[in-house]
């Protein structure tokens, strides 16, 4: 068996795109009962793979960063 035999055809693959929202990814994982979903970004007329969001490691909400202190501190 080849890897290609076990893969989902590209035209049937469900993805989330960047820029996108955390809620987009979580919606796909919950409503469609996927274990994971690829994240892609449109580049140069095609889609480039950027990562994978899974049920085991869902995206975390963004955290607020404290501003950096001035260099003189």
Residue 35 lies in a domain: yes
What does the alpha-carbon distance between residue 54 and residue 25 come to, in Å, rounded to a whole number?
9
- Tens digit of each residue's pLDDT (9 = 90 or more) over 17-72: 888 777 888 888 888 777 888 888 988 888 888 888 887 766 666 566 656 655 55
Residue 25 lies in a domain: yes
Would you state the pLDDT for residue 59? Answer: 64
CA atoms 38, 41, 42, 46: torsion sign: negative
Residue 49 lies in a domain: yes
Tell me the residue range of the domain where 26 lies.
14-54
pTM: 0.62
Residue 46 lies in a domain: yes
Q: Mean pLDDT, to the nearest integer, of 4-21?
A: 83
What does the alpha-carbon distance between residue 30 and residue 54 come to, in Å, rounded to a whole number?
11
Residue 32 lies in a domain: yes
What does the alpha-carbon distance between residue 58 and residue 9 come to, in Å, rounded to a whole number?
24
The tokens describing 72, both together, are: 């003189």
């Amino acid at each position: 068996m080849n890897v290609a035999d076990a893969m989902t055809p590209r035209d049937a693959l469900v993805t989330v795109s960047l820029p996108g929202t955390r809620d987009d990814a979580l919606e796909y994982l919950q409503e469609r009962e996927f274990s994971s979903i690829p994240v892609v970004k449109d580049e140069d007329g095609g889609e480039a793979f950027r990562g994978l969001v899974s049920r085991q490691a869902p995206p975390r909400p963004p955290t607020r960063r404290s501003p950096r202190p001035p260099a003189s501190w």
